[in-house]
Amino acid sequence: MPDAPSTDDVGLSLSLRELRDHLQAFQDDYLADKSDETVGTYRRSLNSFEKWFVQQEPFRFTEDDIRDYKRYLMEERELSQVSVSTYLTALRRFCQYLTDIGGLEENPAKAVKGNRRPDSHSRSVLTEQDIEKLEEVLGNTAQLDKRDRAIVYLMLYAGLSEIEIVRADVEDLEHTLMGPVLRVQGKGRKVKDQEAPLDEPVLEAVEAYLDTRDDVHPEDPLFVSHGHRSDGKRLKTRSVRSRINGYLKQAGIKRKGVTPHSLTHTAALIWLNDGMPIEEVKQRMRHGTLDTTMIYYKKQGLLKRDPEEIEKLMS
């Protein structure tokens, strides 16, 4: 670890080399037990701060300096509220590291709050009309059609995310006393320690796809590429996103706020509209708190709204 930087009465002065040394020490010491995804998020966030840091003269790690950085993220880079909060969280943790090693008397970033996470997913859900149009463009004959249908069903009717889908292996599909489930490894987690129940239409779609593959082993990826160069290799999130975006456009339901992840958001609304208890929806969505599930509960009426009406409300 580098030596504690020298301080004066106001803030802290670091050269670019010193900053880089401390960023590396922060990563080595503070992020040692974090997942690769979490480390990657911190690295990207702090790389952004480093690029901005070199353009400042001087930067003293004061509360005003941190606020300047927040304004830069919001006004110049025009990042989303969630992204601004993510970047500030990384900087806040780094400032805490500098405080812990004696470089700062107190953490100046504590007083600079991130933007509030939007309390609804109004723009990022599909309506019943959207779902019907999406179902119409999904094929059900070729191997690729069956793979994509299974992926869409896992997101739309089982609430899985893209990362959970691409991490799944064949052996993660299990038949339990409570019914069929898929063991999943969510974002930021290191093991497959959660289960996603699979209703009959979802299970049928997944099994129909697996039936198209030859010599399938338990340790094989549940979803693989069928391209000439990458045939048989684990599907990547980028590919999943690209395929689903294609179907959204083909169905004519691609609009502002609607992304592949919209399918995952929509699953909660479908269950709530079907009368599923909110506690069960919380478990199925693998939400950490009931407050998160309540966001969907309050917005479940969007499922039956006209898509054009929603787009006007959100514009």
Query: In this structure, what CATH number is given to the domain that contains residue 279?
Result: 1.10.443.10
Same-domain status, 259 and 179: yes
Same-domain status, 192 and 126: yes
Q: Assess if residue 11 is contained within a domain.
A: no
Same-domain status, 214 and 282: yes
Same-domain status, 191 and 153: yes
Same-domain status, 70 and 168: no
* pLDDT tens for each residue of the chain, 315 residues long: 554 444 444 678 888 999 999 999 998 888 887 887 888 889 999 999 999 998 887 788 999 999 999 988 887 887 877 888 889 999 999 999 999 999 999 999 998 887 655 544 444 789 999 999 999 999 999 999 999 999 999 999 999 999 899 999 999 999 998 899 999 987 667 789 899 999 999 999 999 999 999 999 999 999 999 988 778 899 998 899 999 999 999 999 998 888 898 999 899 999 998 999 999 999 999 887 888 788 777 776 767 766 565 455 444
Same-domain status, 302 and 184: yes
Same-domain status, 154 and 31: no
Same-domain status, 152 and 57: no
Q: Assess if residue 40 is contained within a domain.
A: yes
Q: Assess if residue 213 is contained within a domain.
A: yes
The CATH number assigned to the domain holding 54 equals 1.10.150
Strand pairing report for 194-197 and 179-184: antiparallel
Q: In the chain, how many domains are there? A: 2
pLDDT in the model for residue 253: 93
Same-domain status, 213 and 94: no
Same-domain status, 132 and 218: yes
Q: What is the pTM of this model?
A: 0.62
Contact 180, 203 (CB under 8 A): yes
pLDDT in the model for residue 187: 65
Q: Assess if residue 205 is contained within a domain.
A: yes
Look up the domain containing 52 and give its range. 16-100
pLDDT in the model for residue 9: 45
Gap between the Cα atoms of 21 and 50, Å rounded: 12
pLDDT in the model for residue 256: 80
Q: Assess if residue 117 is contained within a domain.
A: no
Contact 223, 235 (CB under 8 A): yes
Same-domain status, 81 and 154: no
Contact 109, 11 (CB under 8 A): no
Gap between the Cα atoms of 85 and 273, Å rounded: 32
Contact 112, 63 (CB under 8 A): yes
Q: Which residues contact 176 (CB under 8 A, 6 or more apart)?
A: 195
Q: Assess if residue 128 is contained within a domain.
A: yes
Gap between the Cα atoms of 14 and 35, Å rounded: 29
Same-domain status, 199 and 284: yes
CA diameter of the chain = 72
